[in-house]
């Protein structure tokens, strides 16, 4: 099963890229409230933002990669490895967006890393 780790991690990285792209798109758009008066205009702004479109495309591709992975490995092996996305996203959000990575978050990331190592060796 470990020979499929690159496939699984490709899906994980695509999913993380999707989150980061969506975040950047929404940073460009800024705070908004959905209301009947602004629903169409905001939907249009969101739907035509390049980062949002790229993020959604990453999601679509990540689902295809995930389906490919599930056709080859047990879900009990593959699914927990999705948690690597939390690590990638937290580190990238810190690097690109200056988001806080507190000691508690670092401890959580360490727990995730230990869990991923245990699962990948099983």
Whole-angstrom distance, CA of residue 85 vs CA of residue 25: 19
Q: What is the mean pLDDT of residues 53-58?
A: 98
Does 120 score more than 80 pLDDT? Answer: no
Does 76 score more than 90 pLDDT? Answer: no
| Of 6, 20, 9, nearest in space to 89 by CA | 20
Strand, coil or helix: 31: coil
What H or E segment, with its residue span, contains residue 48?
Answer: none
Q: What is the pLDDT of residue 45?
A: 93
Q: In the predicted model, what is the mean pLDDT of the chain?
A: 92
Does 118 score more than 90 pLDDT? Answer: no
Domain with 14, as residue range(s), is: 2-120
In the chain, % of residues over pLDDT 70: 99
The secondary structure of residue 4, as a DSSP letter, is G
Q: How confident is the model at residue 95 (pLDDT cuts 50, 70, 90)?
A: very high
User: From the CA atom positions of the chain, what is the Rg in Å?
Assistant: 17
Q: Give how many domains the chain has, as a whole number.
A: 1
Q: What is the mean pLDDT of residues 8-15?
A: 95
């Amino acid at each position: 099963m470990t020979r499929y780790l690159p496939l699984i991690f490709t899906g994980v990285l695509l999913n993380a890229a999707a989150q980061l792209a969506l975040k950047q798109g929404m940073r460009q758009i800024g705070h908004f409230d959905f209301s009947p008066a602004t629903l169409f205009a905001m939907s249009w702004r969101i739907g035509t933002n390049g980062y949002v479109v790229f993020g959604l495309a990453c999601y679509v591709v990540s689902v295809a990669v995930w389906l490919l992975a599930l056709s080859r490995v047990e879900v009990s092996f593959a699914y927990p490895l999705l948690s690597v996305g939390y690590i990638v996203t937290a580190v990238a959000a810190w690097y690109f967006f200056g988001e806080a990575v507190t000691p508690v978050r670092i401890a959580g990331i360490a727990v995730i890393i230990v869990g991923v190592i245990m699962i990948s060796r099983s």
